[in-house]
Amino acid sequence: METLSNLTSLARLSIYGCGEDLRCEGLLPLLTRGQLSHLDVQRIPNFFGAWDPMWGMQEEQNKRTESKLQYLETDEALFADQEIARFTKEQEEAFHHLTSLQQLRFWRCDKLQHLPAGLNKLQHLKRLGIWRCPALRSLPKEGLPSSLRELDVEDCGTKELTEHCKQLRGTIPKVTL
């Protein structure tokens, strides 16, 4: 992935089934200085697992422009493995740098009990998909962004989560359960 860091014009990146040795090193410059707007990572265990999302941020801060990432999908609990129950403070802060994100999907995060805090700060988020996250207990306490137009929650969590999502009908134009 290090060699990708120089491809600052790269707009879309989809990586599928490349084995468990592939890691995301070199991705930070694409997220902070590049044109990357679409990132899809599937069937690569621990792709984000060894990455400290704050590593290199001080250096990048001087060069940084607003992230252009609009779409992010992964079948791994971002920046961790599928055994994660909740995000660390640093991992949650990493989401705050994805200011242009419009679509976010969590898929098959088997142990994930809580979504990252601060999702409500993603002012451009339009679509949130959460699929097959059976341990998910609730939506973030702070709520969801007012920009959200679609919430798709399937095969997830408790009856309380389902009821909470039903209550959002009318405030979010499209809620699918």
What pLDDT was estimated at residue 40?
87
C-alpha of 131 from chain center: 13
Distance in angstroms (rounded) separating the CA atoms of residues 14 and 84: 23
Long-range contacts of 120-125 (CB under 8 A, 24+ apart): 120/144, 120/145, 120/146, 121/96, 121/145, 122/95, 122/96, 122/98, 122/147, 123/99, 123/147, 124/70, 124/99, 124/100, 125/101
Tokens describing residue 109: 């995060």
Q: Which of 23, 80, 89 is nearest to 54 (CA)?
A: 89
Mean pLDDT of the 33-56 span: 72
Summarised one tens digit per residue, pLDDT across range 51-85 is: 555 555 545 454 445 678 888 877 765 444 456 77
* Mean pLDDT, all residues of the chain: 81
Distance in angstroms (rounded) separating the CA atoms of residues 69 and 134: 27
Residue 89 or residue 15, greater confidence? 15
Element (H, E) at 26: none
Summarised one tens digit per residue, pLDDT across range 84-103 is: 778 778 778 777 778 888 99
Distance in angstroms (rounded) separating the CA atoms of residues 139 and 60: 31
Summarised one tens digit per residue, pLDDT across range 148-165 is: 999 999 999 888 899 999
Size (the chain), residues: 177
In this structure, of 16-30, 132-146, 163-177, the range with the lowest mean pLDDT score is: 16-30
pTM confidence score: 0.74
Domains, the chain: 2-176 (3.80.10.10)
What pLDDT was estimated at residue 31?
77
Q: Which of 105, 112, 149, 147 is nearest to 130 (CA)?
A: 105
Say if CB 72 and CB 103 are below 8 A apart. Answer: yes
Highest mean predicted confidence (pLDDT) among 4-13, 97-106, 140-149: 140-149
Burial class of residue 85 in the structure, from the number of CB atoms within 10 Å of its CB (0-12 exposed, 13-18 middle, 19+ buried): middle
- For residue 108, give every residue at least 6 positions away whose Cβ sits within 8 Å of its Cβ, in sequence order, or none: 75, 82, 131, 132, 133
